[in-house]
Amino acid sequence: MNRRAWRAPVRAVTRILTPEPAQPPIRPAPAPGRSAIVDCALYVDGVRQPGEWHYADALAAARETDRAFVWVGLHEPELPEMTEIAETFGLHELAVEDAVKAEQRPKLERFGEINFLVLRTARYVEHGELTENSEVVETGQVMLFISPLFVISVRHGDACKLAPVRADLEAKQDLLAHGPWAVAYAVADRVVDLYIAVADQVEMDLDALESEVFGRHSHGRIQRIYQMKRELVEFKRAVAPLQRPLMTLTAQINREVPKEIRRYFRDVQDHLTRTVEQVNSYDDLLNSILQARLAQVTVDQNNDMRKIAAWAGIAAVWTAIAGIYGMNFAFMPELGWRYGYPIVLTVMVLSSVGLYRWFRRNGWL
């Protein structure tokens, strides 16, 4: 038998032994209207499968394929759409409510086989000059529903966009092959990296504010310092509470997170710890700046009061002498002197000059 005759059986056996890539089924076009779904993809062994997937079809394919999971990305979903997704993936109603309202602090909760991780995002807002109404830090939220078969990311606000995270992670197939927890790590790493960037920018604002307050011609208004204090408190509320969820994810007793991914989470935890220390130091520094500015205002007010009192003392000499000679009595000393008037004026001027020199020497003027 020649070589050409063997080709047909070999091709048939090859098609049987080599599974074809999963293909999304054809679904009718969705009804017109806003959809919160930014992206939905099926991953097998860290490789994104081609085509556009409906989340229900992707989940069904993930259940039938080994080492496969679904990543659904949502941006500010409404309750009806989020309810449909929750019914498909079996999400708990309490977690769904939290994901829609987006008013949660960083936390990690478990509902059966599904973990619910809440992250608060932060972004530095560029501004030419710090004013009483300047927005320095913009915050948002990212919620993650994590299970062995899927991960659902719900983003609120634009402080941390997840499209770059997905693109970077898809380029690292070895890491993405670890499943949904690799996605959770990549998102947490991105969020903490933004924390570091915000902390560095806030430090520059604090340096500028400190220079204004302690400069030779200080003019730092207390309202500006207080506004910076409020922005820093908002940033601190986003950063500090995330320590406890990361401690849970990196714990040795946590067997849900793959061992290799726990190492990555430890790196994120180290960066977060450094950022928390920075924010705490900024808070202490800003308190010191505020107290110093209040002390400066008090000193300035005391100086103004001393100046007013000094000029009032100088004016009192003129007032006293003029008051005595304005009592219109017929018999008063020196009324008949030819040079009485210039002598009185000379006494007033000399008394004022003497008092001015004395106040000046004592730092009142």
The partner residues of 44 in beta bridges, in order of sequence, read: 47, 68
What whole-number distance in Å separates Cα of residue 147 and Cα of residue 117?
Answer: 11
Residue 197 has pLDDT above 80, yes or no: yes
Q: Is the pLDDT of residue 10 over 60?
A: no
Which has more pLDDT, 337 or 109?
109
pLDDT for the residue 127: 80
pLDDT at position 8, please? 45
15 in any annotated domain: no
**Per-residue pLDDT, 168:** 93
Q: Are residues 255 and 321 in the same domain?
A: no
Q: Which of the two residues, 192 and 318, has the higher pLDDT score?
A: 192
**Residue, of 286 and 294, whose pLDDT is higher:** 286
Burial class (CB in 10 A: 0-12, 13-18, 19+), 26: exposed
d(CA 110, CA 332) in angstroms, rounded, equals: 100
Q: How confident is the model at residue 252 (pLDDT cuts 50, 70, 90)?
A: confident
pLDDT confidence band for 32 (50 / 70 / 90): low
Q: 254 pLDDT exceeds 90? A: no
Nearest to 89 by CA among 107, 77, 102: 77
Grade residue 223 by pLDDT with cuts at 50, 70 and 90: confident
| Final residue in a domain of this structure, among 243, 264, 297 | 297
CATH number of the domain residue 322 falls in: 1.20.58
Region 202-229: mean pLDDT is 76
- Same domain? For 140 and 59 the reply is yes
Bigger pLDDT: 305 vs 66: 66
Instruction: Please tell me whether residues 178 and 314 are part of one structural domain.
Output: no
The residue with greater pLDDT, 96 or 306, is: 96
Give the residue from 275, 297, 319 where a domain finishes: 297
pLDDT at 206 over 90: no
Q: Quick one: 42 exposed, middle or buried, by C-beta within 10 A (0-12, 13-18, 19+)?
A: buried
Euclidean distance between CA atoms 242 and 109, whole angstroms:
13
Decide if 192 is inside a domain. Answer: yes
DSSP H helices in the chain:
3-17, 55-64, 79-89, 93-101, 163-170, 173-176, 180-214, 222-239, 243-250, 259-325, 340-361
Which comes out higher in pLDDT, residue 303 or 104? 104
Percentage of the chain with pLDDT > 70? 79
- Decide if 279 is inside a domain: yes
Tens of pLDDT, residue by residue over 132-188, are 777 888 999 999 999 999 999 999 988 888 999 999 999 999 999 999 999 999 999
What per-residue confidence (pLDDT) applies to 121? 93
pLDDT at 338: 64
pLDDT at 142: 94
Q: Which of 122-131, 193-202, 282-291, 298-307 has the lowest mean pLDDT?
A: 298-307
Give the integer Cα–Cα distance in Å for 250 and 262. Answer: 5
Domain boundary (268, 297, 326) is at 297
Please tell me whether the overall predicted TM-score, pTM, comes out greater than 0.85 for this model.
no
Range of the domain at 331: 303-361
pLDDT of residue 1: 42
**Strand pairing report for 68-75 and 150-156:** parallel
Residue 13 lies in a domain: no
Average pLDDT, the chain: 81
Residues 242, 127, single domain; the answer is yes
Any domain includes 59: yes
Provide the pLDDT confidence category of residue 324 given band limits of 50, 70 and 90.
Answer: low
Return the number of other C-beta atoms located less than 10 Å from residue 220's C-beta.
21
Residues 275, 314 within the same domain: no
pLDDT at 337: 65
Q: What is the CATH number of the domain that holds 84?
A: 3.30.460.20
Q: What is the CB neighbour count within 10 angstroms for residue 342? A: 10
What are the b/e assignments for 223-251, b being 16+ CB within 10 Å? Answer: ebbebbbebbebbbebbbbbeebbebbbe
In a domain, 110, yes or no: yes
pLDDT score for 348: 73
Considering the domain architecture, whether residues 239 and 104 belong to the same structural domain is answered as: yes
Q: Model confidence over 121-144: pLDDT tens digits?
A: 999 988 877 777 778 889 999 999
Q: What is the mean pLDDT of the segment spanning 31-58? A: 86
Whether residue 5 lies inside any domain: the answer is no
Helix (H, G, I), strand (E, B) or coil at 195: helix
- Region 3-17: mean pLDDT is 43
Are residue 228 and residue 317 in the same domain, yes or no? Answer: no
